[in-house]
Structure 1
């Protein structure tokens, strides 16, 4: 592993090292290539010269062997024509034949001589015994009485010539042969101008890998075998090393020059690359320092491109420093008021607490009715108002820090001995800065509300956030100065957990629909059931619908919950229809969705084929936030054929104005009036008046919460149109509701009363 250098990089990762090796290696490769080309050229020249010498030697050897073959041919022919030899052959005189062969072989200097008879017998020179002739030689002679070629005898190749013997008929063949042994090869090698090595190798040995050597120049000349016997090869060889010997001095000089050239190139490339990369290293170190928030001087004096780059970098560093300062200032400033922002206030709070100050408090001040003020004086003027108010607060010695948290929120930091002292100090601050503020020549009176919370590092909710919540809590209690109430705030994480469990409940069946029948008091029929949501939690037990529906409204889960309800009610209605009850379904519609036009479009599309069999129940207060849009959407539902019912009438602050404007079919009296109903009570008077009022507005009236026969009778006497409650039936699942409807029809028929459902 390479050790790091002063530049902080391993040597082999530095640019100068890479440049050195890149250029040095490139030029070195060129030199090495030239050296190799010279070597190859010299080697090829040597091989060509040796090949030419071998070709010449091979031609000489071929000529010599041809002469030798002719000499042997002449000798065998003379012996085969000799009358005495023929007579001895005809009489099969073995001794005479052996003697004649021996004397002739000594005279003509052959290594072997013999006579092969037509019946396959062999008589050798100087031998008084005859033996079986080699089958291959005998066969070759019988095909063509005169043969010449190579025969391997005793592991040594021999040049053999034959001649037929006739008296006058054919009686045999004379064979003379010369050994192609080492002595013969030595004699041939002496005829060459170069120290060749010559040898005759049988083809079988050559095919097995014998007869050839590596790293030598070789010339191979084929020599025919005797008859169909194996051919032989004359192998002439000369070592390449010997061929290259005259060029060793030249090649050594080339290698030395190449090595020295490569070393020189590496050294020169190192110094050149070092001069190039040194200013780059300086720029690199300066860049790293800049990234760490430090400035490092750049000492590059060259006037070339690198020098210009260094100058540009210095200018860029100055610009970056200015921009960082500006960005940092903007990140800590509210651009509309030039006051510190929330981030700056949080940093100030952390700094104060980090210095060990005890009893630090975060507070929030906000002008009351700010939306109204902004509507009157405009956005820009409102920003100037908040800027003036912020400067007033910042100038107070009691204030340790200030920041704008929102359009109408100013946060500040104070220290106090305890909660009571913090309350008094904040109260003094509010009184001090509450004077009217002049904007564009006009005075704007302001009334300030405030909330505060002590600093607590271990709280999940930050001190500033708790101060904002304290302001909202105070406004909810109509108090202008309030300390954060943790108990009243509760556990928002529990709310999120409840919603997550609610989503699971919709899937696992722990949330389900129940249905409570509604009886028509005049016709004694059941034409409608109200769909009511229930949740039996596996751990929490029964969860009140008011609790989780309200939470769903606050967290934005009310739409998916309402979509699930409408789909389930539609599916359950099909079960009622299959059972023979074409019942109308009353579904509660959240006030949050009454102004959600997309949801209403989806609802109408979902029940488009049977809208007349649905009734949407809405509360009177649902239209208060956006009356125009809410009333327009109610008209859309009516136009689609869906009935509208005003639910829980009397449970809140009822308004005759809204009651008159809402185009409803039905008014439902809240159970809080019906349950305590008794003859002569004020509740009875109110209920009677409400029934008459609804009838005069063209609406039917349904009373909720009927729990006794007496109350049911009183409501019927007052003119109520319908009733529902525990006396009639509790909310039950759809299969139990179907059973109830069947029992209702059965009991009504038994009593002789004409009753029906649907």
Structure 2
């Protein structure tokens, strides 16, 4: 449905005429407040933010350094984004705007640019609806599972589409919660990212992946285990050091699949981390390319060894000329950059054949191999050897 204004768009979802709507962040929150749409829920945090400017009076040059330092602390800690979400969610034409105070005693007006969000009608049984208390308890249980090695995983093999040989596998996190039962990553990974627990989980999974990698047979080219990690985790030098140390101890054969589920907060630090990782034999893959926050600027920063085409372009590939054009362009771009191309979500032979003919190097999906346990994967790889 194409409507004339954002408020009508959100109202259509509230009435049940549509399943979800796309609306700019600020307008979306404002319309929800003005129209009392209490059964609406945002499906994502703000995607983009713009730089903003402060002015200081002559004679108060000391404020410049204080403001810069405060802003840096806010940005690095994620508080800036949290303040923005809290502020924009309380927009009101009937009362004063609750501008936040900046850490370090510097009061400032945060003017952060709008973006596009998806909104959907809140359902009583919707897994999107979470409360702070529930999140806090879940995070504590997740941290306990990490600390006590109770966080599970499976592997999905990766296939060379030309030779038909296995190239390794991607580690997929799994969590069998003691009370809630099996939980999908979508239920706990976003919460872990928001609470900055994702780094500890990523390091744990790197350790698990490399430990299992030692059970795989020797191969030429070497088999790689791929582990997903947030781009923002690479901005943490201590985590990068820990990954390098673990790879030095248990490697080789590690590939980090960089996911951009959030805005890259420290692009400079991420750009510094990548050559350090690569110098120690750790390969870089950009996951879900074309569907998240990936941009050509970030592609240049990461200089990946592999680009993974998001499954949303693969599942409808045979029926969509636009998806075919996009996939063909991604394959050409990756090869020009010296990277291999992997496609996720291959579920039939026709799609696999089309991708191979188009020059795609690697395939993953249910038609190739479903996720499996470590022992089953090791047996599969030894049979090839």
Give TM-score scaled by structure 2 length: 0.66
Which residue number corresponds to residue 619 of structure 1?
Answer: 259
Equivalent residues in 2 for 1:115-264, closer than 5 Å:
none
Q: 1:524-603 maps to which residues of 2 (within 5 A)? A: 524-577=164-217, 583-603=223-243
Tell which structure's C-alpha radius of gyration is larger: 1
Structure 2 CA distance for partners of 1:503 and 1:622, relative to 1, 3 Å: closer
Q: CA deviation at 1:556?
A: 2.4
CA distance in 1, matches of 2:136, 2:212: 30
Deviations 1:86-108 (A, max 9, x none): xxxxxxxxxxxxxxxxxxxxxxx
CA offsets, 1:186-216, max 9 Å, x none?
xxxxxxxxxxxxxxxxxxxxxxxxxxxxxxx
Distance 1:512 1:580 in 2: 29
Residues 657 and 570 (structure 1), Cα distance of their counterparts in 2 relative to 1, 3 Å cut: closer
Question: Is the partner of 1:636 in helix, strand or coil?
Answer: helix
Per-residue CA deviations over 1:360-403 (Å, capped at 9, x if unaligned) read xxxxxxxxx998343565996999xxxxxxxxxxxxxxxxxxxx
Q: Deviations over 1:650-685 (max 9, x none)?
A: 112542233234221110001111111115621111
State the 1:630 CA deviation: 0.8
Does the 8 Å CA contact 2:214/2:250 hold for their aligned counterparts? no
Once the two structures are superposed, residues 23-68 of structure 1 have per-residue CA deviations (whole angstroms, 9 ceiling, x without a partner) of xxxxxxxxxxxxxxxxxxxxxxxxxxxxxxxxxxxxxxxxxxxxxx
Aligned to 2:93: 427
Correspondences of 1:269-280 after superposition (within 5 Å): none
- 2:272 aligns with 632
Separation (CA, whole Å) in 2 of partners of 1:579 and 1:544:
32
Higher helix proportion: 1
Aligned: 1:665 with 2:305:
yes
Matched, 1:722 2:352: no
Q: Pick closer, same or farther for the CA change 1:547–1:380 going to 2, 3 Å.
A: farther
Partner residue of 1:684? 324
Give the equivalent residue in structure 1 for 2:52. 372
Structure scoring higher RCO (CA < 8 A, sep ≥ 6) equals 2
Residue by residue over 1:231-261, the C-alpha shift from the partner in whole angstroms, topping out at 9 and shown as x without a partner, is: xxxxxxxxxxxxxxxxxxxxxxxxxxxxxxx
Runs of at least 5 residues in structure 1 that lack an aligned partner in the other structure? 1-368, 384-407, 410-421, 431-448, 452-470, 479-486, 746-756
Consecutive unaligned residues in structure 2, runs of 5 or more: 1-48, 64-82, 85-89, 100-109, 118-125
* Rounded Cα–Cα distance in structure 2 between residues aligned with 1:737 and 1:678: 30
**8 Å contact from structure 1 (residues 579, 738) kept in 2:** no
Aligned residues of 1:373 and 1:382 also touching (Cα < 8 A): no
Using a 3 Å threshold, how does the CA distance of structure 1 residues 696 and 546 change in structure 2: closer, same or farther? same
Q: Determine the C-alpha separation between the residues in 1 that align with 2:168 and 2:55.
A: 48
- Measured after TM superposition, the shift of residue 731 of structure 1 is 1.5
User: Paired residue for 1:649, among 255, 277, 289?
Assistant: 289
Shift of 1:606: 1.2
Give me the whole-angstrom Cα distance separating, in 1, the residues matched to 2:143 and 2:229.
Answer: 19
CA contact under 8 A between 1:553 and 1:592: conserved in structure 2?
no
Structure 1 731/380 Cα, relative in aligned 2: closer, same or farther at 3 Å?
farther
Q: Distance in 2 between matches of 1:711 and 1:695?
A: 20
Q: CA deviation at 1:565?
A: 1.2
User: What is the deviation of 1:603?
Assistant: 1.0
Residue number among 248, 253, 257 corresponding to 1:608 in the alignment? 248
- What is the TM-score with the length of structure 1 in the denominator? 0.35
**Aligned partner of residue 231 in structure 2, secondary structure:** coil
Aligned residues: 293
Q: Structure 1: how far apart are the matches of 2:155 and 2:95?
A: 58
1:95-138 deviation digits (Å, cap 9, x = unpaired): xxxxxxxxxxxxxxxxxxxxxxxxxxxxxxxxxxxxxxxxxxxx
